[in-house]
């Protein structure tokens, strides 16, 4: 900023001042965000929870999480994508489960679990054997970094491969224009899963009461379902 102030004397005063005016709010915003981040870190150090207070989080934290925490058949759990508001999930899950987080952004490491993978979901099979996970929670990643059709297909396929038979894939996404990079019903890898009726919400697709249509889709890996699908595609398309 100082550099630009000095430049104001070199005959470009008008442009420099315009630049400065445009930059100041941005800098203030950055300072505010950094200060908020420090405050959250301090709160976390003192054991104060830092969670988001929205309806979709309520459904995730108070309905979806307890169901899987209480079910002993779900032991190895992967949570995809971390941020300050997911940091408190680590203690909750680590106390009872083998809990792993994954995020390619190295800056998010500090919000991850003790077992954290700094990589993209598409690369999941580099870290897990086929059939080794019981549950994958992938919330707010489709449309928030996972945006390209081929990357989305690779990511869902990797999830399918790494889940065990009967393993569950939960996809949380915003059903709103501009946030859906690629129609989910076009996804071939997602079609390998069988839609799962999730008893606590009495459906396999639950749309939360939010302005951004945050939706939870529940899927289960089911051998006969995917085999039938393969047979169907062979008979229909001759592959």
Ligand X SMILES: C[S@@+](CC[C@H](N)C(=O)[O-])C[C@H]1O[C@@H](n2cnc3c(N)ncnc32)[C@H](O)[C@@H]1O
Please give the residue ranges that form the binding site for ligand X (CB under 6 A).
80-83, 86, 102-105, 108, 120-122, 139-141, 144-146
Please tell me the distance from the alpha carbon of residue 2 to that of residue 19, in angstroms, as a whole number: 12
CB of 125 to ligand X, least distance (A): 13
CB of 189 to ligand X, least distance (A): 14
CB of 163 to ligand X, least distance (A): 16
CB of 211 to ligand X, least distance (A): 16
> Between 16 and 64, whose beta carbon lies closer to ligand X?
64
Contact residues for 94 (Cβ-Cβ < 8 A; gap 6+): 113, 114
- Residues facing residue 215 across a β-bridge: 173, 207
> Between 102 and 220, whose beta carbon lies closer to ligand X?
102
CB of 114 to ligand X, least distance (A): 17
> Between 16 and 82, whose beta carbon lies closer to ligand X?
82
What is the signed CA dihedral for 64, 125, 127, 65, rounded to 10 degrees?
0
CB of 13 to ligand X, least distance (A): 41
CA proximity to 143, closest of 183, 195, 189: 183
Query: CB of 163 within 8 A of CB of 131?
Result: yes
> Between 100 and 141, whose beta carbon lies closer to ligand X?
141
CA proximity to 159, closest of 53, 71, 77: 77
> Between 140 and 167, whose beta carbon lies closer to ligand X?
140
CB of 27 to ligand X, least distance (A): 24
**Residue nearest ligand X by beta-carbon distance:** 145
> Between 104 and 181, whose beta carbon lies closer to ligand X?
104
> Between 93 and 194, whose beta carbon lies closer to ligand X?
93
């Amino acid at each position: 900023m100082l550099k630009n102030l000095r430049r104001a004397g070199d005959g470009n005063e008008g442009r420099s001042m315009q630049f400065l005016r445009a930059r100041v709010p941005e800098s203030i915003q950055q300072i505010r965000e950094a200060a908020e981040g420090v405050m959250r870190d301090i709160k976390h150090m003192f054991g104060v929870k830092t969670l988001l207070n929205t309806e979709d989080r309520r459904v995730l934290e108070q309905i979806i999480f307890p169901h899987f925490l209480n079910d002993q058949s779900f032991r190895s759990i992967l949570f995809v994508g971390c941020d300050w508001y997911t940091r408190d999930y680590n203690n909750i899950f680590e106390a009872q489960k083998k809990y792993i987080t994954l995020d390619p952004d190295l800056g998010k490491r500090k919000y991850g679990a003790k077992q954290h993978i700094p990589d993209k979901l598409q690369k999941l099979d580099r870290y897990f054997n086929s059939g080794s996970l019981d549950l994958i929670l992938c919330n707010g990643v489709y449309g928030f970094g996972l945006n390209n059709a081929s990357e989305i297909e690779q990511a869902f396929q990797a999830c399918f491969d790494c889940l065990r038979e009967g393993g569950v894939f939960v996809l949380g996404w915003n059903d709103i224009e501009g946030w859906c990079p690629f129609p989910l019903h076009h996804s071939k890898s997602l079609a390998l899963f069988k839609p799962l009726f999730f008893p606590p919400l009495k459906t396999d697709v639950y749309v939360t009461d939010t302005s951004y249509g945050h939706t939870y889709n529940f899927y289960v890996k089911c051998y006969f379902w995917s085999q039938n699908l393969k047979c169907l595609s062979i008979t229909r398309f001759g592959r």
